[in-house]
Amino acid sequence: MKLRIGLDIDDTILHWFPEYLKRFGEPKNEFEITRHVQRDLRKDRQFWLNLQPKHRPNFPVTLYCTKRVCNKDWSKQWIENHDYPIAPVYQIVTQSKNKAHVVKGKIDVFIDDSISNFKAMNLAGVPCLLMDCEHNRSWGPIGRVYSLNEDEIKDAYDLFMLTIFPNFQNLL
């Protein structure tokens, strides 16, 4: 079976947090990150367009879904400029909303670096795998991928669906 795979953008296909750190230093908390993004980065086109690629998929991407607050056209332009697979970009401009409501039925599996997005999507019935990042290693190895290699994702998805996904809510 060929999986329909959706991808997050920041820290999944590109390096976002390292660029944030260069600009603002180590944040004290999530609120500080949100404040800097809303106040300083939201309208900074060059920041968003100059982020560096991180993981490149070796498969056709079904869709991208992000919680960015910048202009959606900048996300599309970055994807195009870096020769990533062209696919629809869904953008949720509030951190508290669940991406599952946007992607449900459109994909078989989603890849995200955020533990909170990973949990919320799986609890909402959308299989989500966690892209390995330094900031999410506290979760452990369950449901984790280390690249955007289609075979790795398929293997992780099959194992996740067989063992973890049916009882995900009992793990939390």
Q: pLDDT tens digits, residue range 117-164?
A: 999 999 999 999 999 998 888 888 889 999 999 999 999 999 999 999
Residues 140, 125: Cα–Cα separation, whole Å: 21
pLDDT above 80 (res 168): yes
Residues 123, 83: Cα–Cα separation, whole Å: 33
Provide the phi-psi class of 25: left if phi over 0, else alpha when psi is between -120 and 50, else beta. left
Q: What is the pLDDT of residues 87-110, one digit of tens each?
A: 999 999 776 689 999 999 999 999
Domain count, the chain: 1
In a domain, 36, yes or no: no
Name which of 66, 52, 64, 55 is nearest 18 in CA terms. Answer: 52
In a domain, 37, yes or no: no
127: domain CATH number is: 3.40.50
Mean pLDDT of 41-54: 96
Question: Structure pTM?
Answer: 0.93
- 163 lies in which domain range? 5-15+53-167
In a domain, 26, yes or no: no
In a domain, 28, yes or no: no
